[in-house]
Structure 1
Amino acid sequence: MNAADGARAGDTGPVLTWLYAPGDRPDVVAKALRSGADVVIVDLEDAVAPERKGYALDATAELLTERPPVPAQVRVNALTGPLARNEVERLAGLPGLAGLRLPKTRSPQEVATVAAWAGGGPGGAVPPLWPLLESALGLERAFVIAEGHPAVAGIALGEADLRAELGVTDETGLAWARSRAVVAARAAGLAPPAQSVYPDVRDLPGLAASCAVGRALGLVGRAAIHPRQLPVIEAAFAPTEAEVAAADEILAAAATAAGAQALPDGRFVDPAIVAGARRTVALAERFR
């Protein structure tokens, strides 16, 4: 797998579901780790009241002293606030930490600062970093943020804050922002971004329709805020039988010929098409 097929850091194969859980609720975090999500994001930011921030950090640090059953990332507090540095310094070296989510990232300098907090000096090891683009400025700088440090493993949108800043009233208004994130990630050699959370946990048909829109734009997988959303997300982003069959045919043709060629049905096969077929097959493997 090359950089264009997966994250530069922390890549563990195709990932479709990320489940948020509040850091001050160890019982909820424990359930999230057993929910079937590919990655659990322990949230120290929006999901935790100000008076509970200290307890959330203590509980999260205790959890991450050992490796949990699935990868656990942590969303720290605002990078420009008083809490983030202590959170990063305390969590960065723990064996159970799979990555840090950086809210409201606005510049590559912020990414580099977090890397330094995490031990990014000469010879230091930095955990995978996931800048979240939640402002117009962050979105405009998406590519330079994605390239802000070698430890950047991916980027993602924070659509609630972005909607508020841009005055967007429905999903159609997010199409350009989503495409911008997809292009920036791929240009930086990162895996395609996942969609941001769908806030109505009861509206599963709406979630499925929204995922279909995101998939058409090149997003892969989605963050969730409730376990009931996970099966819908998996189903929405899983390759169809027809897509897998087409990918298998492309790979078979590529294995027997050099250079570009046309299949009997007229489809053209070149290295870019082959790379896409490989991604489809790799994603399909998780369902076999």
Structure 2
Amino acid sequence: MTVPAFPLTWLYAPGDRPDVVVKALASGADIVLIDLEDAVAPDRKEYARDATAELLSDPPPIPVHVRVNPLDGPLAESDLKTLSPLPGLSGLRLPKVASPTDVVHVAEHAAPATEGSGIPLYALLETALGVEHAFAIASAHPTVRGIGLGEADLRADLGVRDDAGLDWSRARIVLAARAAGLSPPAQSIHPDIRDLEGLAASCAHGRTLGFLGRAAIHPRQLPVIERAYLPTSAEVESAEAIVEAAGVEPGAQALPDGRFVDAAVVACARRTLALARRDALTA
């Protein structure tokens, strides 16, 4: 299985539609997110779990994460018990996490993915309380590999009408993830699959806030997200110049165009080049 060092696209697929999941696996997404929660009707929850378990009985060609049902509901325990031992599961996405206790409970009860390690957990913060506890959740357990926002639920919880009203919460989780030593969060979904221009603009805004990549609900959104988050040719050229200058003479210095270069700038430039290459790790 090839695991991208910098995953940019995370495609949701409903767990009760195995045919859609199979298409998602071939869509070009970096990671497929099988959803057992919002995308599945109540009377199809058990079928979705069983179908997902069958699919994950063998490792798929790309990483697959599963969003389980709410942790405070009657279905989550069965989801975790059934899915966590399966060899095809690469991560669990936990909805509506409100406190570090929620994460610790899952980490202690989910079967280990491999000997001596736990299944990677990704906490979704969808309430004001969850956002308020962002750093505590991000640092609650070694198996937490990422946090993100569930913006539809958060919007309703906060009574926010304008999209800009979520920017404080967005910046909060970017900061919390960094403080906890986690990768930058991926943006929440853009719900209008026909509005590709709006998606591109939203991704550009998310990039300025510090997000890296985005969840999608339709394959047509994937190339838009990837283009938005990959460095431009100008950014790559600038990063190459910075790294080259740093290799010639160590320490802080000024480039011919007047830009000041220090260790932090060099580190950022190297990250830009690595992202442009889309370095891959083999697991």
**Which residue number corresponds to residue 96 of structure 1?**
88
Amino acid at match of 1:70: I
Question: 1:263 Cα shift?
Answer: 1.5
Contact 2:107 2:118 in 1 (8 A): yes
Amino acid at match of 1:154: G
Quote the Cα distance in structure 1 between the aligned partners of 2:175 and 2:200. Answer: 23
**Which residue number corresponds to residue 59 of structure 2?**
67
Quote the Cα distance in structure 2 between the aligned partners of 1:240 and 1:99. Answer: 30
Amino acid at match of 2:177: A
Could you tell me the TM-score, scaled by structure 2's length? Answer: 0.94
**Which residue number corresponds to residue 204 of structure 1?**
196
What are the residue-to-residue correspondences of 1:36-75 with 2, within 5 Å?
A: 36-75=28-67
Quote the Cα distance in structure 2 between the aligned partners of 1:271 and 1:100. Answer: 36
Quote the Cα distance in structure 2 between the aligned partners of 1:244 and 1:221. Answer: 18
Could you tell me the TM-score, scaled by structure 1's length? Answer: 0.92
CA RMSD of aligned residues (A): 1.5
Question: 1:119 Cα shift?
Answer: 3.1
**Which residue number corresponds to residue 224 of structure 2?**
232
- Change over 3 Å in CA distance of 1:88–1:124 after alignment to 2: farther
Quote the Cα distance in structure 2 between the aligned partners of 1:89 and 1:275. Answer: 42
Quote the Cα distance in structure 1 between the aligned partners of 2:100 and 2:204. Answer: 31
Question: 1:83 Cα shift?
Answer: 1.1
Per-residue CA shift, 1:9-56, capped at 9, x if unaligned?
A: x97401110000000100000000000100000000000111111111
Contact 1:33 1:70 in 2 (8 A): yes
Contact 2:5 2:278 in 1 (8 A): no
**Which residue number corresponds to residue 246 of structure 1?**
238
> In the alignment, does 2:210 pair up with 1:218?
yes
Contact 1:99 1:128 in 2 (8 A): yes
Per-residue CA shift, 1:210-246, capped at 9, x if unaligned?
A: 1111111111111000011111111111110010111
Question: 1:124 Cα shift?
Answer: 5.1
Question: 1:256 Cα shift?
Answer: 2.4
Contact 1:192 1:220 in 2 (8 A): yes
What are the residue-to-residue correspondences of 1:103-252 with 2, within 5 Å?
A: 103-119=95-111, 125-252=117-244
Question: 1:125 Cα shift?
Answer: 3.0
Contact 1:92 1:126 in 2 (8 A): no
Quote the Cα distance in structure 2 between the aligned partners of 1:42 and 1:54. Answer: 14
